[in-house]
Structure 1
Amino acid sequence: MIKRETNVDEVLKEIREIINQMVPREARITEVEFEGPELVIYVKNPEVVMQDGDLIKNLAKVLKKRISVRPDPDVLLPPEKAEELIKQIVPPEAEITNISFDPSVGEVIIEAKKPGLVIGKNGETLREITQKVYWAPKVVRTPPLQSQTIYSIRGILQSESKDRRKFLRQVGRNIYRKPELKSDWIRITGLGGFREVGRSALLLQTNESFVLVDFGVNVAALNDPKKGFPHFDAPEFTYVLKEGLLDAIIITHAHLDHSGLLPYLFRYNLFDGPIYATPPTRDLMVLLQKDFIEIQQSNGIDPLYRMRDIKEVVKHTITLDYGEVRDISPDLRLTLHNAGHILGSSIVHLHVGNGLHNIAVTGDFKFIPTRLFEPANAKFPRLETLIMESTYGGSRDYQMPREEAEKRLIEVILQTIKRKGKVLIPAMAVGRAQEIMIALEDYARVGGLDVPIYLDGMIWEATAIHTAYPEYLSKNLRNQIFHEGYNPFLNEIFKPVANANERKDIIESEEPAIIIASSGMLVGGPSVEYFKHLAPDPRNSLIFVSYQAEGTLGRQVQRGLREIPTVGEGGKTEVIQVNMEIHTIDGFSGHADRRELMSYVARVKPRPERVITVHGEPQKCLDLASSIHKKFGLSTRAPNNLDAIRLK
């Protein structure tokens, strides 16, 4: 719980006076309040404000705040009546597939196959909806695949709207509190992911604020909390949690090593503030966190957190699109930029104080175009410190070119099919799986593949979330979907695996097949089940397409382990003989390789004063830091966990 005194009433009083002077009296303002990073103006007649297209823009310029105008809750039609009216106003040709309401922001989400018809010519239909139902309409294209995760998140936001609004107001008052001190210093502490891969967590402190960037878990080291969890024992972190002083958590992307421990904070009442992420990151991290606890339960392990804690994550998440600038504390301004790693992945840019310092935290990023995403953003308004990943930062960490990787993938698949074998591709359900799907679909479309491609684990649901956010995909993929009218994710060659019985049928079948299954490192999930049954047969192949972390079964198999002890029926130890072919094709990684990392430093604008290398094995972090210093003459560091670095 945030315990700071948040005396913002004087600030709001001044703001209300300005608003009353600028907004027409006919709008009938009922309330002005901070809600999250926005200033919200509630009015009885929102159409009066809508008629003046420049009013909000001018208000924002004068007040230097992000402004939203919402209808007063008292004038909102009941959802059932509003839905009925919307269906009367919108032409049937629009093919509305779903209407849902978010009372916390007075918004109605209208899903339609033809969203242009919901908007109408010059926005006429949208205006009519606003005038008659008062809810603020948000129009989205109906995704071709239904995502249960997205609908459950909407349900949470709708059912918890009162608590959500109360929470947003608390956050808003915290953000716009009067600073106690002028910001004149900044420091960061590595709580996890410094000179290692896994449990990423960075604590940033100023005179006034405390913010976390990422809060992940090392799934491969869960049996040892000292290696699996971020450093709760860091004195400054212990103090911040105990006193309730953590202003915000920013999540770069959804993978568990960056977001997997968020619900744990809510389970033990260690945090009650806002989480900032892109909309796809919110949806995907909920999917991954849910799967994480289900895997723990299936393995007879008491889960680290419960579904109700994941629900709290949803209630506390404030989503931002790329490029949106938001205040998140009195002296910190946040902008998220494309990182090119997975759907919704972000580079975090923080503007500290009134021009005091600017920091970019890359998280995991990719600096070449892929089938799924555009390259990571490398242009910022200002930049003094760059904190960047070093997963492939070693001097020899050069990945295979993407075209060559795809060619090699097809070669291995065709060779395996020729000998009547099955191909197992353990893949992260988010990112790598979809990249492989698009590559295989492209080859299948020209007649190169005639075997089924089975998708097991979370992959189908993760793919459904991808189809809901086409604006986050690459330009080529967007053009294919919108202008050519073809969605490669919907090719009939892809067959989701619904249950264990279907999985058993696939394993026992004598027919060749391609199986893409989570998890990507053979740590839990259906990929392990397939591996156990397919490994003894030399006709089969396993293809690693993503990073295999230390301590995982994937890394052991990749290094050549040929006998795997496992617990069989009756608790007896059995040994799995690994006779299948093992291949590693690293050109599909969502991480920048050594060439891309150096290129990023060369091209990032403006040129930073300092580069800090993190998220890599110790030697890779050190190697990259040394090379950047030698080539570019920049100050560099490769800190350890628990190192505190003063940036200003």
Structure 2
Amino acid sequence: MQIEERLKELKEKINTKVPRGINVTQVEFEGPELVIYTDDPKRFADEADLIKILARDLRKRIVVRPTILEDPEKAYNEIKSVVPETAGITDIFFDADTGEVLIEAEKPGVVIGKNGTTLRDITKHIGWTPKVVRTPPIESTTVKQVRQYLRSSNEERKQFLRTIGRRIHRDLPGKGDETARKDQWVRVTTLGCCREVGRAAFLLSTPDSKVLIDCGEKPDNAGGTPYLYVPEIYPLSGLDAVVLTHAHLDHCALIPLLYKYGYEGPVYATPPTRDLSVMLQLDYLDVINKEGRKVPYSSNEVRTYIRHSITLNYGSVTDIAPDIKLTFHNAGHILGSAIAHFHLGDGMYNIAFTGDFNYAKSRLFNPAINQFPRLEALFMESTYGGSNDFQQPRMDAEARLYETVNSVIQRGGKVIIPAFSVGRSQEVMLALEEGMRTGKIPKVKIYLDGMIREATAIHTTYPEYLNTELRNLIFREGMNPFLAECFQQVDSQELRESVIAGDPCVIITTSGMLNGGPVMEYLLNLAQDEKNALIFVGYQADGTYGRRIQKGWREVPMGRKGTITINLEIVTVDGFSGHSDRRQLMNYIGQISPRPEKIFCIHGDENNTIDLASSIYKRYHIETHSPMNLETYRMV
């Protein structure tokens, strides 16, 4: 059946289900959604459950848009009259091409109303389809730029979504013919991240579709590109979709490179993952350029990625190819991190990729989800999968942090904490803020250098992705610890020099593995003074300066900058990692439901992936693998 015929058939089905008098003028696939255009959006809004019923019966994500739009000025006044002032509306933008009105508010929940009542009232009054986003409490340059760019490229994006929508819902060869469709299979090809940490990239293939999961770099910048030129994935124009699990560079850095080499399709991610990945990709280009290395792509490709991004919230089941549905689940690792669950064929097979995940509650996030409707195969990270990889409990880690900070401040020194701008920085910020607020450590300035402040601003934009207690603290008690006065952004070279020469303080700075960024300047100036301390709070990959210093190197060559003599105190605090340790990884499999038939241990050093795979097999009697790069596994 041709797309036009299918749309005609869907329109006829919709007309049989909507109440008499509601006129459906057009239906169209736009990305993964089926868009219903109508002259009667207000009538649709009156029927509170109608869209839910249509979505259930048609098994599609449904969006309703008006055919005829009310004058924006009049609609603006109507919105202001319907929405309580306590919502704190900061911007209203009307998009005539989509019939949507974007309402930016400090309290989006007030705009939505209980069970969506206020949102329906808005639709009844103006006809436009309202979308609500949060005004960042800390202004985020990235969020602002992404939103403005999506507005400015709206017409081009609309055409893109229609093209993708028709590709997703295309007819498959031999559909309905059991003989023609008998040779069904599912394959996974490992393009990176196997028996190593970094350059995550996996190709999920069926006879009809190809989906790439992640596309990152190696943390030590050596051999850092996934195998994107092999016949299984090349040419990139044959890909149906790219799925991004989270925004760390070893998973997202090379997403824009795909557009440079011929990819034209969508990238699916959660909203925070999209914004954080854009921030990190632009910073990644800036760092490479400053270091005189060859940049792999330009900011133009980053903008193309933004234009081709499709955001999904946790739990939203979405068609991304004719025979593949995707659902994101909380991974507990960083803001917006997701376990990607794929439902293949008509229930033929189910497979999940954990990305990086944390099966323990942290100050920021709830534990990773491990309950799925169906699951036959699991690709799981093994960063701390070794038999001795046990992290200290979070409370003990914070006590160790407080002890070190107290000791260093008392002797007149400075504490340097290298951390990923996304995830570990915010965990440490919250621990230090509470420590100062409760008197466990002295009140000194906490300086944030690198992209940490910007990443924190994005965290404040999406508090609904934070854990239950932190959300309650922000929403019910009106206290946002990220806005505490103890934090100060280092936004100039002059201030950085002042911090280095100034009073005792804490410095949280990028990069987390000491392979570039402002942390190097702090080391050059502070490493020789034994009053100071360097605290590692995250994983240090082989080949990085961080791993060398952690191993005990006291003289570290820095190329043209010379050799640094390390006299300051070196402390490792393991409990702040966003990864599951060995105990949590084993518990995750022990409590997962349903239990998969196959498990693939990836994203870890060779010994760790082999050890974890062997241990899972011995304890749970599940078929396990520790794959190597450039292997293909047939699942069905």
> Shorter-chain-normalised TM-score: which range?
over 0.9
User: Kindly tell me: are residues 567 and 101 of structure 1, through their superposed partners in 2, closer, same or farther at Cα, counting changes over 3 Å?
Assistant: farther
2:103, 2:618 → 1: CA distance?
Answer: 55
More displaced, 256-265 or 117-126? 117-126
Matched, 1:645 2:622: no
Q: Which residue of 1 aligns with 2:43?
A: 48
Pairs within 5 Å for 1:207-218: 207-218=207-218
Matched, 1:231 2:223: no
Q: Which residue of 2 aligns with 1:252?
A: 245
2:260, 2:97 → 1: CA distance?
Answer: 24
More displaced, 585-594 or 89-98? 89-98
From 509, 514, 517, give the equivalent of 1:525: 517
1:22, 1:343 → 2: CA distance?
Answer: 40
Tell me by how many angstroms 1:566 deviates. 3.1
Report the secondary structure of 1:367's partner residue: coil
Over the aligned positions, Cα root-mean-square deviation in angstroms equals 1.9
Judge conservation of contact 1:103–1:158 (CA < 8 Å) in 2.
no
After superposition, give the CA deviation of every residue in 1:383-415 in whole Å (9 maximum; x if it has no partner).
110110010010100111111111001111111
Report the secondary structure of 1:476's partner residue: helix
Q: Which residue of 2 aligns with 1:202?
A: 202
1:504, 1:146 → 2: CA distance?
Answer: 25
Judge conservation of contact 2:361–2:367 (CA < 8 Å) in 1.
yes
Q: Which residue of 2 aligns with 1:314?
A: 306
Q: Which residue identity does 1:200 align to in structure 2?
A: A
1:512, 1:359 → 2: CA distance?
Answer: 51
Q: Which residue of 1 aligns with 2:69?
A: 75
Tell me by how many angstroms 1:16 deviates. 1.4
Judge conservation of contact 1:282–1:317 (CA < 8 Å) in 2.
yes
Matched, 1:398 2:390: yes
1:324, 1:94 → 2: CA distance?
Answer: 26
From 131, 141, 146, give the equivalent of 1:138: 131
User: Kindly tell me: are residues 151 and 135 of structure 1, through their superposed partners in 2, closer, same or farther at Cα, counting changes over 3 Å?
Assistant: farther
1:211, 1:438 → 2: CA distance?
Answer: 37
Matched, 1:28 2:23: yes
User: Kindly tell me: are residues 106 and 216 of structure 1, through their superposed partners in 2, closer, same or farther at Cα, counting changes over 3 Å?
Assistant: farther
Tell me by how many angstroms 1:103 deviates. 5.4
Matched, 1:273 2:277: no
Q: Which residue of 2 aligns with 1:3?
A: none
Report the secondary structure of 2:232's partner residue: helix
Q: Which residue identity does 1:616 align to in structure 2?
A: G
Tell me by how many angstroms 1:63 deviates. 1.6
Tell me by how many angstroms 1:122 deviates. 7.5
After superposition, give the CA deviation of every residue in 1:17-58 in whole Å (9 maximum; x if it has no partner).
112222346443222111111111011221011111222222
Q: Which residue identity does 1:373 align to in structure 2?
A: F
More displaced, 380-389 or 440-449? 440-449
From 505, 508, 530, give the equivalent of 2:501: 508
1:102, 1:337 → 2: CA distance?
Answer: 31
Q: Which residue of 1 aligns with 2:476?
A: 483
Q: Which residue of 1 aligns with 2:177?
A: none
Q: Which residue of 1 aligns with 2:340?
A: 348
Tell me by how many angstroms 1:89 deviates. 4.6
Tell me by how many angstroms 1:563 deviates. 1.4
Judge conservation of contact 2:64–2:129 (CA < 8 Å) in 1.
no
1:263, 1:517 → 2: CA distance?
Answer: 26
2:449, 2:109 → 1: CA distance?
Answer: 35
Tell me by how many angstroms 1:88 deviates. 5.0
Judge conservation of contact 2:69–2:99 (CA < 8 Å) in 1.
no
User: Kindly tell me: are residues 599 and 101 of structure 1, through their superposed partners in 2, closer, same or farther at Cα, counting changes over 3 Å?
Assistant: farther
Q: Which residue of 1 aligns with 2:178?
A: none
Report the secondary structure of 2:562's partner residue: strand
1:116, 1:262 → 2: CA distance?
Answer: 33
Q: Which residue of 2 aligns with 1:442?
A: 434
Tell me by how many angstroms 1:459 deviates. 0.6
Judge conservation of contact 1:104–1:164 (CA < 8 Å) in 2.
no
Q: Which residue of 1 aligns with 2:604?
A: 616
After superposition, give the CA deviation of every residue in 1:208-229 in whole Å (9 maximum; x if it has no partner).
11001111111422xx5xx210
Pairs within 5 Å for 1:527-606: 527-567=519-559, 574-606=562-594
Matched, 1:13 2:1: no
2:404, 2:608 → 1: CA distance?
Answer: 30
Give the TM-score taking structure 2 as reference length. 0.95
Judge conservation of contact 1:129–1:137 (CA < 8 Å) in 2.
yes
2:108, 2:251 → 1: CA distance?
Answer: 34
1:121, 1:439 → 2: CA distance?
Answer: 34
Q: Which residue of 1 aligns with 2:152?
A: 159
More displaced, 528-537 or 593-602? 528-537
2:602, 2:393 → 1: CA distance?
Answer: 24
Report the secondary structure of 2:238's partner residue: coil
1:618, 1:122 → 2: CA distance?
Answer: 50
Judge conservation of contact 1:44–1:75 (CA < 8 Å) in 2.
no
More displaced, 86-95 or 106-115? 86-95
1:305, 1:466 → 2: CA distance?
Answer: 27
Judge conservation of contact 1:102–1:154 (CA < 8 Å) in 2.
no
Q: Which residue identity does 1:199 align to in structure 2?
A: R
Q: Which residue identity does 2:371 align to in structure 1?
A: K
Report the secondary structure of 1:158's partner residue: helix
Matched, 1:298 2:290: yes
After superposition, give the CA deviation of every residue in 1:410-449 in whole Å (9 maximum; x if it has no partner).
1111111111110000000000000000111111111232
Tell me by how many angstroms 1:557 deviates. 1.2
Tell me by how many angstroms 1:59 deviates. 1.8
Tell me by how many angstroms 1:517 deviates. 0.4
Judge conservation of contact 2:91–2:104 (CA < 8 Å) in 1.
yes
1:515, 1:645 → 2: CA distance?
Answer: 46
Judge conservation of contact 1:104–1:157 (CA < 8 Å) in 2.
no
Report the secondary structure of 1:217's partner residue: coil
Tell me by how many angstroms 1:296 deviates. 1.3
More displaced, 611-620 or 441-450? 441-450
Judge conservation of contact 2:219–2:541 (CA < 8 Å) in 1.
no
Judge conservation of contact 1:33–1:40 (CA < 8 Å) in 2.
yes
Judge conservation of contact 2:513–2:547 (CA < 8 Å) in 1.
yes
After superposition, give the CA deviation of every residue in 1:503-524 in whole Å (9 maximum; x if it has no partner).
1110111x10000001101122
Q: Which residue of 1 aligns with 2:399?
A: 407
Tell me by how many angstroms 1:490 deviates. 1.0
Tell me the percent identity.
Answer: 53
Tell me by how many angstroms 1:85 deviates. 4.8
From 170, 181, 197, give the equivalent of 1:177: 170
2:392, 2:578 → 1: CA distance?
Answer: 13
2:109, 2:571 → 1: CA distance?
Answer: 47
Report the secondary structure of 1:199's partner residue: coil
Matched, 1:431 2:416: no
Structure 2 runs not aligned, ≥5 long: 175-180
Structure 1 runs not aligned, ≥5 long: 1-5
After superposition, give the CA deviation of every residue in 1:176-198 in whole Å (9 maximum; x if it has no partner).
11112537211101001011101
2:611, 2:329 → 1: CA distance?
Answer: 27
Report the secondary structure of 1:449's partner residue: coil
2:557, 2:50 → 1: CA distance?
Answer: 69
Tell me by how many angstroms 1:603 deviates. 0.4
1:380, 1:116 → 2: CA distance?
Answer: 28
Matched, 1:264 2:260: no
